[in-house]
Structure 1
């Protein structure tokens, strides 16, 4: 990693891209601290502190504390992420969108434009709901039409600006713009969470021995989780492909061998985000409405959906929610992979190009073979995701080590860092080739 950065800074164009990205990240963090006009920030901060639910912690983490601070970037890029997921899902149901997706660069530009429009629409809907909800709860300085309109316009503009910054980082920076915006938000919360762990388990330990043991355990858990994520992100099954020889004119072409890389974690972090969103949405709505704190059956169901009650030895019944969480992650891993990876299309493309998998006939047998291999890989990837996600949940339940970052955050951070480094390396390779050809 350090070697890649050292080499990158030797090339002027890549060095400028890195500096541009850093400037944009500074702008994001500054915007995350600018207070939203018309909001009683102190009262709202006290309300967030009194809630402490997993749903609010999750959204606070991915917005870098902007939601908790109610800054102009409070919505952050969550509308864009939701919009991207919606558009990807709609490509299954709407043939026109599926055609756009396959229509090369022009189709990609049209899909991007549609995603932007949906992002703005979602930002408006979310900001209206927040403005009215907070206004009715007395968290606005003045609950009138002018203040609501100002809040909606500011939140929507903040989300649009972050979307624009993400696209500029992709175009003029190091790439992976939206992912980098999400990563810097999560990273901004980690120092505070580490300080919470230090205060609870090390500073307040009964003696020096216990403090040392606690420090070693915390560091070991973090390192093991990171190592597991790295293996999960880089792991792949390579399917060998052989291309038959052809005569074109007087030349013989083809005959080379290649492979199809099937990633172990094919769906990335999407299954966990989907599962968390579905399970935490009822908890978030109940929290906003001031419900779910009683002893009724409804409150117990909400507790079962909340991660903070899982793996608690004193209340094992709530860990049934963890089983539901595991099933949802596995189901979404298969579902998301099915809409992003089409074995039949790959088999047909291979057949047209004269490629085949050794020992497997081209066409449908190849498609069936890829589907069979993919099903095994998806399950392994989903199990790996669950191990990474459950480790922080286990320590939270057994030791009450409550922090905003967890397995999901670490998967996002490590995945984005690995992909960004690969993009920088590919840009360096292109520059080296250009320099060689110009010489």
Structure 2
């Protein structure tokens, strides 16, 4: 083991990867420090925060159990990016004409609006009525929004100089959430129940890995490939959206819930919204619909059959029996919709369906929430592993590509 480690450390083509990993570790240290800096006393705050709220916020690098510098997490930013991209999906040609500055302005504008809503929602749970409430709320929102922007900047820096962008921050947040929930709740179950939960979790994890690794292939004719033995094909993953749909669906659900609750507070001065709670079937159903919709549209966005059809038209490649242009676009769009539909259904079954079991078997709700967090952790870890593999692959041939690029 020692010899293998020494060999890896001496491999010059992996030095860039080591620098990226070290940079990511430094950002993780900053995140841990910032997530433990409390900016508001929560001693008299809301102790009955929904368990799903903790999971949803943790899936975006945030924390609602305490008001810290990074409590908002990356939720406002990733949700804003999703909104901008889905709006642009209606007119891809217009998106191509937009400059980077224009896209960033739209993303930052949406991010600021969502951050203000979430900051007010979070502080409203902890800041009681009093003479200094307005000042405390104003200063608290300012610090929370600044902390969220700092975390977004760290995620951007990690994308450029580290590994996997915002994903390591999310992984650290989920691990912290799991540790906090286990520390607060003593779980005592029979050994047979633990074995059953472990078997179901293992089955779901294996199924998730298979779906993540599997791909759908569409054969086509490459005019530059004259070999009869080697067939060219389009390789589309069965789950193109990856873990992004799961992460953003939870953040978007929390934002929608926050907006509805804030509207009710302003109109009726009441804060209770039971039907959007995960102890209510309607709340779970709303989340399931949201999860499916995001998984479906994100998959379509990632596959982008229209751009693939345009590339075929430019290169001269074609699918046998399908005319180039509109017919190829229609054919690829039909295939992309089928893949996206499959992706949405499987994600809802694996991640969303277990939430209904918390209603059927409320005694096991804590264990089910724990299992969902572990599944999310596995899923995001798969994506991080893929990023590291790609980095190792490109580093191995970096000298060759630099020579001829």
TM-score, scaled relative to structure 2: 0.80
Cα deviation for residue 155 of structure 1 reads 0.9
Query: Does structure 1 retain, via aligned residues, the 8 Å contact 2:64–2:122?
Result: no
Aligned length: 390
Q: Spell out, residue by residue over 1:119-162, the C-alpha distance to the aligned partner (whole angstroms, 9 max, x if none).
A: 24432454355556754x34x894243x3442222111101110
- SS of 2:31's partner is helix
Residue 143 of structure 1 corresponds to which residue in structure 2?
133
The counterpart of 2:19, out of the listed 10, 16, 23, is 16
Residue 184 of structure 1 corresponds to which residue in structure 2?
172
The counterpart of 1:111, out of the listed 76, 82, 103, is 103
- SS of 1:34's partner is coil
Cα deviation for residue 353 of structure 1 reads 0.4
- SS of 1:151's partner is helix
Q: Spell out, residue by residue over 1:138-197, the C-alpha distance to the aligned partner (whole angstroms, 9 max, x if none).
A: 4x894243x3442222111101110111011111112x2122222221122123445677
- SS of 2:323's partner is coil
- SS of 1:355's partner is coil
- SS of 2:218's partner is strand
Distance 1:427 1:59 in 2: 30
Residue 141 of structure 2 corresponds to which residue in structure 1?
152
Q: 1:278 to 1:125 in 2, by over 3 A?
A: closer
The counterpart of 2:232, out of the listed 255, 258, 282, is 258
The counterpart of 2:322, out of the listed 344, 347, 360, is 360
Q: 1:279 to 1:159 in 2, by over 3 A?
A: closer
Long gaps (5+) in structure 2: none
Distance 2:116 2:215 in 1: 40
Cα deviation for residue 53 of structure 1 reads 2.2
Cα deviation for residue 27 of structure 1 reads 1.2
Cα deviation for residue 350 of structure 1 reads 0.6
Does structure 1 residue 57 correspond to structure 2 residue 51? no
Cα deviation for residue 111 of structure 1 reads 2.6
Residue 207 of structure 2 corresponds to which residue in structure 1?
228
Query: Does structure 1 retain, via aligned residues, the 8 Å contact 2:60–2:74?
Result: yes
Residue 432 of structure 1 corresponds to which residue in structure 2?
396
Q: Spell out, residue by residue over 1:94-128, the C-alpha distance to the aligned partner (whole angstroms, 9 max, x if none).
A: 77861346xxxxx4565345424542443245435
Residue 314 of structure 1 corresponds to which residue in structure 2?
none
CA RMSD of aligned residues (A): 3.8
Cα deviation for residue 6 of structure 1 reads 9.0
**Which stretch shows the higher mean deviation, 391-400 or 24-33?**
391-400
Q: 1:61 to 1:134 in 2, by over 3 A?
A: same
Query: Does structure 2 retain, via aligned residues, the 8 Å contact 1:186–1:409?
Result: yes
Long gaps (5+) in structure 1: 102-106, 203-209, 247-251, 294-298, 310-317
Residue 380 of structure 1 corresponds to which residue in structure 2?
342
Cα deviation for residue 388 of structure 1 reads 0.8
Q: Which has the larger radius of gyration?
A: 1
**Which stretch shows the higher mean deviation, 213-222 or 85-94?**
85-94
- SS of 2:70's partner is coil
Cα deviation for residue 12 of structure 1 reads 2.6
Residue 158 of structure 2 corresponds to which residue in structure 1?
169
The counterpart of 1:34, out of the listed 32, 37, 50, is 37
Distance 1:153 1:322 in 2: 32
- SS of 1:72's partner is coil
**Which stretch shows the higher mean deviation, 15-24 or 108-117?**
108-117
TM-score, scaled relative to structure 1: 0.74
Distance 1:131 1:178 in 2: 25
Q: Spell out, residue by residue over 1:43-65, the C-alpha distance to the aligned partner (whole angstroms, 9 max, x if none).
A: 12xx1x2x232553344433556
Q: 1:415 to 1:272 in 2, by over 3 A?
A: closer
Distance 2:217 2:383 in 1: 19
The counterpart of 1:402, out of the listed 365, 383, 399, is 365
Q: 1:59 to 1:428 in 2, by over 3 A?
A: closer
Summarize the alignment of residues 255-334 of structure 1 with structure 2, pairs less than 5 Å apart: 257-269=231-243, 271-272=245-246, 284=258, 285-286=260-261, 289=265, 291=270, 302-303=274-275, 305-309=276-280, 318=281, 325-334=287-296
Distance 2:91 2:335 in 1: 28
Distance 1:354 1:154 in 2: 55
Does structure 1 residue 201 correspond to structure 2 residue 188? yes
Residue 76 of structure 1 corresponds to which residue in structure 2?
73
**Which stretch shows the higher mean deviation, 400-409 or 79-88?**
400-409
Distance 2:115 2:292 in 1: 30
